[in-house]
Amino acid sequence: MSRVGKAPINLADGVTVTVDKSNVVTVKGPKGELKEAIHPDIALKVEDGVLTLTRPTDQKRHKAMHGLSRALVSNMVVGVSEGYTRQLELQGVGYRVTNTGNLLELILGYSHPIYFMVPQELKVTTEMQKGKNPTITLEGVDKQLIGQVAAKIRAFRKPEPYKGKGVKYVGEQIRRKAGKTAG
C-alpha cells in the first residue's frame, strides 16, 4: 500500500469535509473554504473525526493517485484550520519592498521598480527595519497558491552565488562560490 495514502487524516475542531457525486472535495474550516477535484477511483470516508482514503486496486496509477489525493486533502485540512505562511527576504544594497493592499512594489536594483499584484486569496505584509533585511510575508489557506506566488516573487531576482544578493526564502541556504583568485 501507499505509505502516504494509507495514513489517516485527523480533522480538527470546526473542520467539515463533504464529497459530492463528481468527487469534488469541499473542506470548510475557521479560516476559509477550499475545493479540489479528486480522482474518481479514490473513495473518501469520514468516521469519528478521522478521514481515510481508499483505492480500488493495487495498479501503479491507483497507488500514485492514492498518495497524491491524500496529500492534497491533508493540505486542505491544515490550510482551513491553521493556515500557511511563507516568508521571503531581500538581501542586497538598496533593495526595498512596500505594499499597498495586495500590490507589491519591489526595488531590486533594476532601472525601474517592479509592481506585482498578489491574488486576493492571500494576505501580504512587508516589513522594513533599520539594520535588517526587508521581508515579505504571505499568508493564506491554499498551500499551492502561496508556494506559486512566493516562487514568482523569488524569480524577479534569484540569489546569486557570489555575494548572495537577491530574493530568498527565510532560512534558505545559498550555495556560495569563491570569486577569482589573484595570481
- pLDDT top residue among 168 and 12: 168
Q: Is 127 helix (H, G, I), strand (E, B) or coil?
A: strand
2: pLDDT confidence band, cut at 50, 70 and 90?
low
Least confident of 12-21, 93-102, 131-140: 12-21
1, pLDDT greater than 70? no
Residue 183 above 70 pLDDT? no
Does residue 153 register a pLDDT over 60?
A: yes
Residue 76: pLDDT above 90?
A: yes
pLDDT of residue 181: 81
CB under 8 Å, gap of 24 or more: what pairs does 102-107 form?
Answer: 104/136, 104/153, 106/153, 106/156, 106/167
Q: How confident is the model at residue 12 (pLDDT cuts 50, 70, 90)?
A: confident
pLDDT at 22: 87
Per-chain mean pLDDT for the chain: 92
Domains of the chain plus CATH, in order, are 9-81 (3.90.930.12), 84-169 (3.90.930.12)
Output the CA torsion 97→103→108→114 (10° steps). Answer: -160
Average pLDDT on 16-36 reads 91
Neighbours of 141 (CB within 10 A): 23
Question: Is 78's pLDDT higher than 50?
Answer: yes
Q: Is the pLDDT assigned to residue 178 strictly greater than 70?
A: yes
Reply yes or no on whether the pLDDT at 182 is more than 80: no
The pLDDT of residue 13: 87
Cell 531590486 identifies what position? 108
SS3 content of the chain, % helix, strand, coil (to 5): 20, 35, 45
Q: Residues in the chain, how many?
A: 183
Q: Each residue of 47-59: pLDDT tens digit?
A: 888 999 999 998 9
